Each structure stands twice: as structure tokens, then as C-alpha cells.
Amino acid sequence: MTFLEFLLILLVLYYVIYVLLWIVLDCNVALWYKSRFGVSLSSMRGQVVWITGASSGIGRALALSLARHGVRLVLSARRVEQLEQVQSECLAAARGLLAQKDVLILPMDMLELEKHQSHLYTVLNHFEKLDVLVNNAGRSQRANWTDISVEVDRELFELDVFSVVHLSRLVVRYFLEQNGGRGHLAATSSIAGFSPVPFSATYCAAKHALNAYLLALKVEQRKLDITIFAPGPVATDFLQEAFTGSQGTKVGLSTANQKRLTAERCGELFAVSLANKMDLTWCGLFPVNFLAYCARNSTLTKILAQFMTEKTLNKIREGKL
């Protein structure tokens, strides 16, 4: 056997193993490795993490995962009753590691930009510091490209992009002034943020834009840790509040019986991403991992586009394949 033949065999084995991992794992390989052998979540004990969109879904699941390891929390969303429920669940999950004062309820509407600064002051007055901001609030979309009104485009960008950027800028300024530029900024993006999917044009564009904002910030502020967490289909109530193509309407669908990753598992993986300060991670059941990997490789993306129909992509996106 020649040396080149040996290298060829190794290359084939490498890709065979990778394909098997795409089928078995529910996240990218690097994230899976960190979940087994990386920094433990207990390393974040005592840190203050502010989570927007914390009343349900991924935000709630992330809060519970962090609470189990003694991470102090700020829970923000519009629905106060749900926040109070999440607070109780976090205290129970902490098993004595947290007191009630360690889980702050901070009701807020992300679209009320004029109140963002006062909300940040509230966090700092209560905990005297902030270590991590997790931008999780947002809404999805289901609509044909040609049916989307420009009003919906504006509304979705206001919530999923501009409100997130506005709050993040305030927090980054705090990091620069108080911590010499050190701090951790995270955001819930989406597989749609780097792999466009059908019937969600505005949402795809918004997540692409958010990713670009954060990546540009990373280039400017090298000391700042930035985590972009991009889940695929997750079993939450996300579609209940999702935009359509018309202003003032919602999709109002349940995803409970579809093939989706559980919110609890998604929250665990998000927490691992934060503890290990990973730049970009994603999660989802097969074939989401494969599609996400292809989206990161322009050659594979072009090849895949020749074989994946719109109907197939939509089934994958909706958790029906």
C-alpha cells in the first residue's frame, strides 16, 4: 500500500465517521464533544446571566439548565405570570444553590427601546454585575415570499434584529467601561440564519442580519466572547406567535407532535455552548446536522441544492421528515 492510498483510506474513513455522527448526534460535533469533555456548567456558578424571552421554550429550558448549577439569573419577557412560574421552577431545580434573590424577574417588552437602559440599571443595581446577556426573545414566520407585506418585514426586523442590537450595544458598553471589554454576549439564532429555508423569507433575512451584526462586533472587540446558538426545529410554542405574510396575524400552530428536538435538550446544549464560550453551535435531529454542515460548505450547498426539492426542505424545517 502506497502512502497516498493510505491517506485516501483515512480520508474515506473520516467522512464515513462524520456521516455516522450526523445521523446519531443531535448537535454539531464540536458541541457534542464539549458536552462530554469540555468545561463543566458548574464553572458558571455565581455568574449573572440575563435571558430575554425566558417565559417559555428555549429561554425557560436554558434558565433551568443554568439554575441546576447555581447560575444567578435575570428572567425577562412580557408575561409576568409565566416568569414567576419559571422562577419557581429554577429555584426548585437549583436544590439550594440559589435563593429567591438570585433569580430576578424583570418584565420587559423588547420593542420598548427607551426602557432598555433602565432595565440594565435594574440588573446592575440588583446583582452589581452582569456576566452574560442571552438574547433569546423573537418570533418566527411562515409565509410565501410573494405574500409578505413590507409592514411584516419591518415588524419582524424590529423585534428579531434591531431590539436585540439595541440592548446588546448597551450591555457591550457596560462591558467596555467596567470589564475592559470582557464579557459574554449570546443570541438564539437559527439554522435558517445560515441555511435559507422556504416560507420564512423575512425570518431568514433577520437571522442572517443578526449573525452579521454579532460577527462584526467580534471583529471589533476581540476580548468579547460571542456565542451564536442556532437550533433547528424545536418542540416549543414558537409557531403560536409566528408572523405570517400579513400584518397583525399569527400562525397559531402547535408543534407538539412533530419530529423536533425537545426544548429541554436544546436548553442543555445552549448552556454547554455558554460554559465553553463557543462561537457558533447548532442543534437538531437528523437531517438537520447534515444540512447545517452543508450550509457551511459552499460546494456541498450547491450539490445539495440539485437534489433537495422545496417540498423536502419544508418537511425537514417543519419536523415532518
Contact 281, 31 (CB under 8 A): yes
Q: Are strands 48-52 and 72-76 parallel, antiparallel or unpaired?
A: parallel
Cα end-to-end span (Å), the chain: 42
**DSSP secondary structure string for all residues of 62-131:** HHHHHHTTT-EEEEE-S-HHHHHHHHHHHHHHHTTS--GGGEEE----TT-GGGHHHHHHHHHHHHS---
Residue 91's CB is within 10 A of a number of other CB atoms, namely: 18
201 burial type by CB count under 10 A (0-12 exposed, 13-18 middle, 19+ buried): buried
What type of residue sits at position 55?
Answer: S
Catalytic residue of the set 33, 121, 174, 203? 203
Task: Residue 140: count other Cβ atoms within 10 Å of its Cβ.
Answer: 21
Instruction: List all residues 6 or more positions away from 292 whose beta carbon is below 8 Å from its beta carbon.
Output: 28, 191, 194, 195, 230, 232, 282, 284
Q: Is 15 a catalytic residue?
A: no
Q: Are 133 and 167 in contact (CB under 8 A)?
A: yes
Q: Phi and psi for 243 in degrees, rounded to 5?
A: -65, 155
Torsions phi, psi of 87, nearest 5? -60, -45
* Phi, psi for residue 188 in degrees, rounded to 5: -85, 105
Active site residues: 203
